[in-house]
Structure 1
Amino acid sequence: MAASPVLFVSYSGVLGGAERVLLDAVTRMERPPVVACPDGQLAHALRRAGIEHAPTSRRPLQRGPAHLKGIAGLALDIRRLKPSFVVAWGARAVLAAAPSGRPWLAVHHDLQPNAKLRAALRATTRRANGVVAASHAIARDLGLEQATILHPGVDLDRFSPRPLPPRPPRALVLGALVAWKRPGLALEIARHLPELHITIAGTTLPGDDGALETRLRRQAGPQVELAGAVADVAGALADAHLLLHCADAEPYGMALVEALAAGRPVVAPSAGGPVEIVQDGAGRLYPPGDAIAAAEAIEAILQDPDAPANARRRAETHFDVVASTRRLEATIEAAQR
């Protein structure tokens, strides 16, 4: 009799960065799992891909008592589904999996600025049968010395390199318009590089008042375009010479990995996940928040004819989604023993 499928659990039904990584993994696993999450973008994508979806109660990402009630409700959902093994995908799923009474693997994708939550996650994760962090930066932040580091990979075929566009040089900024991503730094960098055109591709998150986007549009000069959300990320990368990243507290950075796969070098702060991604001549790092140093790094990349090939090579050797999925499967199997 075949063993029951592994149950992946996500608190969120929104198709954000961590959820896209989950979707990429489960659609490539040799033995498809079941994914428990609220109905929404992630659930729809799972069904389209032929992955079994187990609905959980819809819960907004709340704080305070409502937040704790939502986690308790998710723990009840896990018990109701009676899985043989749980993969808790993200902080809230980790907090819900521990009291569920099922064997489980904790998978962490985020840095935690809240000291109390960080301590709670550290203590809870110690009860897991195995621990995964998407970067060394995350493992250090949470104090998870025992974590297996699994850098998420990218579809190398989807992001295959295309010819560089003609000059003048163009930089792409990818990411939600939220304060911690520091999109305003791109405007400062632009002032030091009058020949550079910068496209900021991203929108505010649901529930945001839009004040940041309004301020950016008011302050942006003619060389900066706020393009909103882009459906074709590979196409947007093809139209750029490089990816510019501004967040100085990035836990990992899937946009950076996608850029490397597309043969586009990356200029990013020397902090968090980007330090683990931008290596081997695939880009340049600059001190966080330093617009002048970032501008100098961009100039250096634009003058390096080997940077695009180095970027693609880095992706091929370190960030293939098929290889990262096999490593995840092996980690799950080890935790089940």
Structure 2
Amino acid sequence: MNHDIVEEDLLRPTPVTRDAGRDLITTSPVAKPPAARRGARSVGPVRVAIIHDWLVTYAGAERVLEQIVACFPDADLFSLVDFLDDRTFLRGKSVTTSFIQKLPKARTKYRSYLPLMPLAIEQLDVSAYDVVISSSHAVAKGVLTGPDQVHISYVHSPIRYAWDLQHQYLQQSKLTSGPKSALARMILHYMRNWDIRTSNSVDAFVANSEFIARRIHKVYQRDSEVIFPPVDVESFSLCEEKDDFYLTASRMVPYKKIDLIVEAFARMPERKLVVIGDGPDMQKVRAKATPNVQIMGYQPFNVLRDHMRRAKAFVFAAEEDFGISVVEAQACGTPVIAYGKGGALETVRDQYESHPTGIFFNEQTADSIIGAVEDFADDPARFRPADCRANAERFSVRHFRERFFGFVRETVPALQGATLPVDEPPAKVGDQKPVSNALRVLAIDQSGVMGGAELSLLEVVKALRARVQVLLFDDGPFRMALHREGVAVDVLDPGATRDMRKQGGTPPIARAVKSVASLVRATVVRARQSDVIYANTQRAMVIGAIAGRFARRPVVWHLRDIVSPEHFGSRQLAIIKWCAKLGLAHVIANSAASARAFAELTNFGDRRIDVVFNGISAAPFSALRETPQSVLRARLKLPQDAFLVGSFSRLAQWKGQHVLLEAMVLNPQMHAVLVGAALFGEDAYEARLREFVAANGLDGRVHFLGFQDDVAACMCAVDVVAHTSITPEPFGRVIVEGMLARRPVVAARAGGVVEIIDDGVNGVMCSPGDAHALADTLAELRADRALRDRLVANGYQTAVRKFGTQAYVEGVERILANVASGG
């Protein structure tokens, strides 16, 4: 059975929120157990056990558990399974687990053991404790307790896939008919009967919202106290100034309806939407995105928080039990546009209430979302950031602890007079490195030259350092750069594979096979000392995929190309398809364009492709802020008074340097600076460029600087950075570097470029290969200093916020750790 739908909202990397226009202290009457039946202890400490369904991540339910542990720091913990890498939120406590912990593939397939979970939870022995607190969204409330024990259950939801979401679960699991469907229905029927029976052993229920309280009453016929989940509002600061974009952030699973939000904004091209999150629906969401919709994928907490603070409004389309991200948005002073059902009704003050914090829409349709966004845009000043913040503060961690501890104290006679412990909070999980220190990585790259792929790999291995070994198939400056960073490096002789080319050029088959076999053997030896193989380039991926099979290690390919006939020959494309089936566990794409092309070529599952934008350090560019441009030009022997347009990439036909030279013919007032060399058998193209310069009298206005170590100095020496690729660029690193150098950027409108540049805002785009359009754009930039200044200011902000090294490195590390652990 496929149980991917099970409690997806509680297992996501990015939490969600909601807000209320009502009294947050509203409670339902709860029958309190008589003191006599409890066998209240007159002496000795009260022994407390805390039960949680499963411990595999740090998400919504775990945030509640963290605060329950803070209320009862001496309690012992129990769970079906415990596969946490970072357990700081549990204060390092050990956890007693069930027999499921030791079953095959339990780390990644624990939800497949659903039929065994009732039995497993009943085998956890908590008979030695006076108070049992279960944190339950599945089976934790079914733990067995005796007549003299008090059992309090904090319910995130009754088992949703067994109750009101059964039919949706069966549909999405493709279990609507046939023998497997019949078996699944029987299991869910058994789960419902078990769920009702075990509810009778709970002395007091606590619901995380009025919405869940109604669910508890409907399913169990029991009343419950409502205590809203804790939201760390202190980690979010009020921002009064908002940027011109809307935000949604969530795990991309069907019931979150992220695709509906994207569809709605696709029909509002004048309004910009930013989407943060990843998950099974990522490809579906990407397919509906238009140029005004920016899909960022998974982002670390600091990036999410920054966007929440600056967003004009937060859009939320799920019917959520509570919805932490809605509250977090309001903590930033950001109003909410939300679906008017579920927990959002309790956490968002509607526009018709005093001090409103958001707007509701009535249907989960694109039309309904569009209507709400238009309504919001008519008068956004109605929603004051200070009101949003004040409303969010009612869901604080402090408020949760006081309410929950007070409820337990009132329910347990032996705790009368007890006081809430003064808490010393541990470091937040979100602030920790997402990778276990035990992770060992073998990174492989085919080149010794410092290209864009190598610079990006360098940032990752600098972070891993002691836990990574790098294997190169050629020697060169890249090896020296790795040595300077203290990274272990081995260089292998590539043999005949050195002559392999993207467009299909290959050496004789016998020589090629012999060289590949030699590289595979050497890679297998090193891979056996690692947990995961991280291939940074296409040739390295081929070797890695084969070696991974022999070494029995998962392989992650960092895809930095658009795998299409424009970039690769038919033989190379066939090899990539073969490797995808043979041994690739996961692919990291440097842009949505790269991810789409790979998925179309290989039919690789969406869940095994993640988009992580390249991270580029601002430090080399910041170091030159105070250096006069005249000094840099003198160092590079460039003319002092000319308007210089720089091109920064290896000299190759598809990189389109000839388009820039053609534009120079049309713009006699400008000079072109070509930084880069012909690296991979492309000397003939460089010769043609030089011939064109001579034939058109451009000798004094075109400057060939060749390969340069200090790209930052070269960029800061020019007036404009031009990107002229004539076929779609997988990412466009030079564009971000130009932004960091505080230079206006002109780029070819194709591939990953459109995910970086907002045309006319942080850069300018032209049609690929159109020298006349490029010449006109460069002339406009030369004449309009205000335009250049505006593009520079916006471009720098884009580069720092969206393409910083921290988000990039954390994204790659997270994926490597997940793959290495079998996730």
State TM-score, norm by structure 2. 0.39
3-state SS, counterpart of residue 471 of structure 2: strand
Task: Tell me which of 294, 307, 311 is aligned to 2:791.
Answer: 307
Task: Tell me which of 87, 103, 106 is aligned to 2:554.
Answer: 103
In structure 2, do the counterparts of structure 1 residues 145 and 278 end up closer, same or farther at CA, with 3 Å as the change threshold?
farther
CA positional deviation for 1:31:
5.5
How far, CA to CA, are the matches of 1:76 and 1:319 in structure 2? 37
| Structure 2 partner of 1:141 | 597
Q: Which moved more, 1:128-137 or 1:304-313?
A: 128-137
CA positional deviation for 1:8:
0.5
How far, CA to CA, are the matches of 1:115 and 1:34 in structure 2? 32
Q: Judge conservation of contact 1:131–1:148 (CA < 8 Å) in 2.
A: yes
Q: Judge conservation of contact 1:136–1:149 (CA < 8 Å) in 2.
A: yes
| Structure 2 partner of 1:5 | 440
| Structure 1 partner of 2:771 | 291
Q: Deviations over 1:219-258 (max 9, x none)?
A: 4513322222233211111111210111122222222211
How far, CA to CA, are the matches of 1:225 and 1:18 in structure 2? 25
Q: Deviations over 1:181-208 (max 9, x none)?
A: 1211111111222222221122222653
Task: Tell me which of 40, 43, 49 is aligned to 2:479.
Answer: 43
Q: Percent identity?
A: 27
Q: Deviations over 1:73-111 (max 9, x none)?
A: 322122111132111111112212222222121211123
| Structure 2 partner of 1:326 | 810
| Structure 1 partner of 2:429 | none
| Structure 2 partner of 1:158 | 620
- Corresponding position: 1:125 with 2:580: yes
| Structure 2 partner of 1:54 | 490
| Structure 1 partner of 2:533 | 86
Within 5 A, what are the aligned runs for 1:164-175?
A: 168-175=642-649
Q: Judge conservation of contact 1:203–1:229 (CA < 8 Å) in 2.
A: yes
CA positional deviation for 1:53:
1.2
| Structure 1 partner of 2:740 | 261
Q: Judge conservation of contact 1:29–1:325 (CA < 8 Å) in 2.
A: no
Q: Judge conservation of contact 2:483–2:489 (CA < 8 Å) in 1.
A: yes
3-state SS, counterpart of residue 751 of structure 2: coil
Q: Judge conservation of contact 2:439–2:817 (CA < 8 Å) in 1.
A: no
3-state SS, counterpart of residue 27 of structure 1: helix
* Higher gyration radius (CA): 2
Q: Judge conservation of contact 1:94–1:125 (CA < 8 Å) in 2.
A: no
Q: Which moved more, 1:125-134 or 1:212-221?
A: 212-221
Within 5 A, what are the aligned runs for 1:14-29?
A: 14-29=449-464
How far, CA to CA, are the matches of 1:205 and 1:300 in structure 2? 33
How far, CA to CA, are the matches of 1:227 and 1:30 in structure 2? 33
Q: Which moved more, 1:60-69 or 1:38-47?
A: 60-69
Which ranges in structure 1 are unaligned for 5 or more consecutive residues?
Answer: none
How far, CA to CA, are the matches of 1:243 and 1:324 in structure 2? 23
Q: Which moved more, 1:293-302 or 1:243-252?
A: 293-302
How far, CA to CA, are the matches of 1:69 and 1:315 in structure 2? 44
Q: Deviations over 1:6-35 (max 9, x none)?
A: 111112233322122111221133764111
RMSD between aligned residues: 2.5
Task: Give, as a single letter, the amino acid of the residue that structure 1 aligns with 2:730.
Answer: P
Q: Judge conservation of contact 2:439–2:467 (CA < 8 Å) in 1.
A: no
How far, CA to CA, are the matches of 2:791 and 2:690 in structure 1? 35
How far, CA to CA, are the matches of 2:768 and 2:818 in structure 1? 38
CA positional deviation for 1:67:
4.0
How far, CA to CA, are the matches of 1:230 and 1:109 in structure 2? 22
How far, CA to CA, are the matches of 2:605 and 2:629 in structure 1? 42
3-state SS, counterpart of residue 53 of structure 1: strand
Q: Deviations over 1:298-324 (max 9, x none)?
A: 234442031111111110111112221
CA positional deviation for 1:129:
2.0
State TM-score, norm by structure 1. 0.90
In structure 2, do the counterparts of structure 1 residues 105 and 177 end up closer, same or farther at CA, with 3 Å as the change threshold?
same
- Corresponding position: 1:74 with 2:530: no
CA positional deviation for 1:39:
5.2
Q: Which moved more, 1:213-222 or 1:51-60?
A: 213-222
Q: Judge conservation of contact 1:204–1:213 (CA < 8 Å) in 2.
A: no
Number of equivalenced pairs: 337
| Structure 1 partner of 2:665 | 191
How far, CA to CA, are the matches of 1:174 and 1:32 in structure 2? 33
In structure 2, do the counterparts of structure 1 residues 55 and 233 end up closer, same or farther at CA, with 3 Å as the change threshold?
closer
In structure 2, do the counterparts of structure 1 residues 73 and 275 end up closer, same or farther at CA, with 3 Å as the change threshold?
farther
Q: Judge conservation of contact 1:87–1:105 (CA < 8 Å) in 2.
A: yes
CA positional deviation for 1:271:
1.1
3-state SS, counterpart of residue 158 of structure 1: helix
Higher RCO (Cα < 8 Å, 6 or more apart) = 1
Task: Give, as a single letter, the amino acid of the residue that structure 2 aligns with 1:22.
Answer: L
How far, CA to CA, are the matches of 2:693 and 2:711 in structure 1? 22
Q: Deviations over 1:145-204 (max 9, x none)?
A: 622111111111212274777865321111112222121111111122222222112222
Task: Tell me which of 565, 571, 582 is aligned to 1:116.
Answer: 571
How far, CA to CA, are the matches of 2:471 and 2:694 in structure 1? 42
